[in-house]
Structure 1
């Protein structure tokens, strides 16, 4: 057993997995503190996070031993499963069938992207995110060097925009933006022309502005007010929408160098501190040094993901790692922007840290894919050196 573990450790990217595990460990400790100070002493959030993290690490190790090429070629299987779970939530809202609720509105904001099974919730778009990266990487590898041809580009855009539209219909626009960002970054990595990127950017800004002017009701009322809350956080008419972000930025600002401590009970109250605003609570409890350490860990994970992409011996491995890097990076930027009151609240979690069993497990499956690229890249290089 120990020999098998040593052989695995000698071939895989151990520092990468260790950094992810440290993030989870910090998250669990912080969630215990949140439970003591804001949830009446309940450790339920921390317990779920612990179980999900251990399960996720185990699944990451298992996934890393499977060749990523096999996983990409199996796209009909995981695509059917992932999107087969997503599609019912487009039409069924809070539909109860015994102990199962389809299209569960977890946050009270017309976001029907969840399943509720008994007392547990699951968001199928987290699984769909992994399938999306694999299928788009496979698609890009098939048209490698010919991305800018009109028919190929049209097919890729359809591949990206259909999932984005489906998730928008669910009501989860935060996740839809993440999917759109993943697709854009992977297209760029696949060789999309810089001129086309610039043109698409201009067209998106112009089209979005025109759409808001011609059809202002395209945004739900609370979405528009969340945008206004960022532009004018002192407006008393927006107090219900600015309260959470005001508290979050206040918590970050009063953390000082070393913070208020984890278990002293003197933290600034931040609504939903265990989920979207865990960074605010963490910065208040651990201060600038703790917040900086968390950011360095996340930066290290993102940088090592790109390192694995660079070292990959084939385009498919590079595209997979770039897609996972994009998911990690975009979620971090959006979540931190929400906490720092520079972006509106759109329900995007901080990877590894925010409470949520399904999101943690799926994040570790992404880690497993990166480890698979790393491990099988080393095998390929070793074989090539042996043949030479």
Structure 2
């Protein structure tokens, strides 16, 4: 079921990206130049599926225990972006590393896997000391260090996803209620600090625009176009290939949901949401079947990636949330993101294969 859901997402993504490429293809460009995005997406999915199958044969306990290796590798690549990082078209965040043949690597995507493994191991080791302030401070430091690093990198959207992953895993691990209430209070108290001391003016304008889009058309242009595109699809959509779609800037990236919605209508929208939420639910089910906390927490972390990125991305498309550069899992064009997600599925398959409850277990 894991593999079928992932392959269905990837297949629909490649079709949508091929349709976008077909509509904008130029006779002056080569076949690869015109269809580079769907080809990279398909190649990343095929490579990711192979890696997921291989990764599922490894015991996740050994993968978590090898945290010094993958933490040093993944976060070393993130640090490298401060030196040689570049920003692809459509973004100002220099969080990518250029590769040959026009390809690129976004290290923070791979760092999500390392973070889920290491944080799950940390939570598992601290299971009997969750009520101790020293143990809690160590967990918060484990969570806060990546957030600060990614913030200074300039990718606050990805930092927010890391925060949601960590908080979801801590909640499921059994964080005492007094700490949950204290955390909510501190978060509320930190809002003025974020607004007046940390957030840039363009970020504030994106929030203003949600409540007054007519007076902030410059920052709301892409989202307004996406909403029109979603509505234009109506029930069954206009279809793919050669159909005049409503123009949405960079629809292949964070706004591919609007393109699919216009192409397949509300039926396509529900299909995308059903696939992604079904995958998240399957991950939660695997967490419940796991006989140890480590496997359960790994699956919860992966489920949090799928769930929160889907909610935020769709909220961006519907103008319910500001644009913060969050991809739609499996659908947004991006080889690194797709590869990371398939590696996450390999981890979940490892949990399912190496540690699950049988029917007659107590």
Fold equivalence (TM over 0.5): yes
Does structure 1 residue 342 correspond to structure 2 residue 325? no
Deviation at 1:212, TM superposition (A): 2.2
| TM-superposition CA deviations, 1:214-270 (whole Å, max 9, x none) | x3xx222322222222221111xx322111000001101111110011123221111
Deviation at 1:107, TM superposition (A): 4.6
| TM-superposition CA deviations, 1:89-144 (whole Å, max 9, x none) | 23x2xxxxxxxxx2112256541211112311110001110000000000011011
Q: 175, 189, 192: which one pairs with 2:158? A: 175
Does structure 1 residue 232 correspond to structure 2 residue 212? yes
Q: Which runs of 5+ in 1 are unaligned?
A: 1-14, 93-101
Name the structure 1 match of 2:14: 28
Name the structure 1 match of 2:40: 48
Give the Cα–Cα distance (whole angstroms) in 2 for the partners of residues 171 and 334 of structure 1: 18
1:145 touches 1:191 (CA, 8 Å); kept in 2? no
Deviation at 1:39, TM superposition (A): 4.8
Cα 1:346–1:148, aligned 2, differ >3 Å: closer, same or farther?
same
Pairs aligned (count): 355
TM-score normalised per structure 1:
0.88
Give the Cα–Cα distance (whole angstroms) in 2 for the partners of residues 373 and 349 of structure 1: 26
1:38 touches 1:269 (CA, 8 Å); kept in 2? no
1:310 touches 1:318 (CA, 8 Å); kept in 2? yes
TM-score normalised per structure 2:
0.94
Q: Which runs of 5+ in 2 are unaligned?
A: 28-33
Mapping of 1:61-100 within 5 angstroms?
61-90=53-82, 92=83
Mapping of 1:185-264 within 5 angstroms?
185-213=168-196, 215=197, 218-235=198-215, 238-264=216-242
Q: 37, 41, 52: which one pairs with 2:23? A: 37
2:22 touches 2:242 (CA, 8 Å); kept in 1? no
Q: Runs of 4+ in structure 1 displaced over 3 angstroms?
A: 38-41, 107-110
Give the Cα–Cα distance (whole angstroms) in 1 for the partners of residues 7 and 255 of structure 2: 20
2:260 touches 2:268 (CA, 8 Å); kept in 1? yes
Name the SS for the 2:147 alignment partner.
helix
Does structure 1 residue 286 correspond to structure 2 residue 269? no
Give the Cα–Cα distance (whole angstroms) in 2 for the partners of residues 374 and 272 of structure 1: 37
Give the Cα–Cα distance (whole angstroms) in 2 for the partners of residues 198 and 262 of structure 1: 48
2:105 touches 2:336 (CA, 8 Å); kept in 1? yes
Name the SS for the 2:245 alignment partner.
coil
Give the Cα–Cα distance (whole angstroms) in 1 for the partners of residues 218 and 166 of structure 2: 34
Alignment root-mean-square deviation, CA: 1.7
